[in-house]
Amino acid sequence: MPSSSTHTTRSETRLLHLYIDTYRQLYHTNSTAAYHVTKHFSSLLELPVSSLMERATADQRLWWEWKVYLRKHEKSEALYSVSFLLGDVSRELMERGRKGEARVWKGHALEVVGMAKREQGEERR
């Protein structure tokens, strides 16, 4: 997916939205993880990190809606949502034949599920 192309494919658009959603969720729970996700998506989309960051924060209305969503929902629910998004990344990579990277992302998804389960346990107390 060359960044020089002015045409954005369906897959690129899906991945870009996936990145933006993932970044926004991780930004509020783990800024270090958000940075690492940015680096991975930068490679996947073949776009500079700065371009991805700009796109993730450009739409203030969406950003505000996401903040409202986080206030309304439990942190564990947000983490489960992140795990689903990371699972989508893993499947996308698998479809592209990038099995090693897909396994890494699946591991990230499972790690986030563990975080969500721990958080859910704390929320019940």
The pLDDT tens digits of the residues spanning 60-94 come to 555 555 555 555 556 677 677 777 777 887 888 88
pTM of the model: 0.48
Residue 3 domain flag: no
Q: Is 4 a domain residue? A: no
- 2 within some domain: no
The residue range of the domain holding 111 is 10-124
User: Is 98 contained in some domain?
Assistant: yes
Q: Number of structural domains, the chain?
A: 1
Is 50 part of a structural domain of the chain? Answer: yes
Q: What residue type is 122 in one-letter code?
A: E
Structural tokens at position 57: 């924060």
- pLDDT of residue 6 exceeding 60, the answer is no
Confidence at residue 99, expressed as pLDDT on a 0 to 100 scale: 92
Q: What pLDDT is recorded for position 26?
A: 73
* pLDDT tens-digit series, residues 92-110: 888 889 899 889 888 888 8
Instruction: Classify residue 101: in a domain, yes or no.
Output: yes
Phi and psi at 105, nearest 5°, equal -65, -35
Place of tokens 């924060």: 57
